[in-house]
Amino acid sequence: MFDGFSLERVELDDVTLRVRHGGAGTPVVLLHGHPRTHTTWHAVAPLLSADHVVVCPDLRGYGQSTVPPDAPDHAQSSKRAMAADVTALMSLLGHDRFAVVGHDRGALVAFRTAMDHPERVTHLVVMDGLPVIEHLERTDARFAQAWWHWWFLGQVDKPAERVINADPDAWYRTPPPEVMGAGNHADVWAALRDPHVVHAMCEDYRAGLGIDRDHDEADRDAGRRIACPTLLLESAQDDLDIQGDPAAIWAPWLEQPITHRVIDSGHHQAEEAPEQVADALREFLAEA
């Protein structure tokens, strides 16, 4: 995987991130979602590397990055903390300004990076994601049934970890190695069988139901919006539109009109349609 890329462990103030990076040109950071690691980008990153320095970290708590100790309000797993990791990482790698791309939970981190650090982000790409407050305020029985894992993983009184760690092979479902890529499959499953990572992934969702929502609400109340160009990549075979047109939901959060493209894939776009994703990213990132 990742021919010509370097694999490092980069120490930040309070966490160490496992990071794959390579290529030449303008910098872009690719952020994975749940329950993946940075290797989900193994087919996309090389396609971008001729025109971009591509940086692919494991988010804090995921893969082989640090599982931070629990903090009040699950703040250690907030998207604000993860976004601070992204900016610190890019500074250490020598990139003052960069594009940020996030899928699923990584989309929340990408959004928070652009919101909290507008001076650093040139372009924002969100893949199958909305601001968390938009989901939560629209929650009805249909959404709760379809996206039930948000509430299950977010429980604290009856922690999901006890169920998942008892039999992770029964809990998680992934495509086989020949579909995901053997190295990606092995990397993801090593993480899924680590109880510490499972706990950190649950903490991600607990933060999403509380402190992340609070941060979104504060931004909205203050009238803060994303200044940079924004691209939404929506999976044709997923249900991001369960609560309405996702581009219309994004619009009030943005100073510029959103670019919206549909990728012919299921939820894991980077694994299922890497060429389409890379083409969409190259085209968008070439814009001033």
Q: Which residues are catalytic?
A: 104, 267
User: How far, in Å, are 92, 97, 128 from residue 146 at the CA level?
Assistant: 40, 37, 15
Q: Are strands 6-11 and 16-23 parallel, antiparallel or unpaired?
A: antiparallel
Most distant CA pair in the chain, distance: 50
Nearest of 80, 60, 61 to residue 211 by alpha carbon: 80
User: What single DSSP character describes residue 238?
Assistant: S
Provide the β-strand partners of residue 52. Answer: 26
- Quote the CA–CA distance of 84 and 75 in Å, as a whole number: 12
Q: Is 29 helix (H, G, I), strand (E, B) or coil?
A: strand
Q: What is the DSSP string of 179-215?
A: HH-HHHHHHHHHHHT-HHHHHHHHHHHHHHHTHHHHH
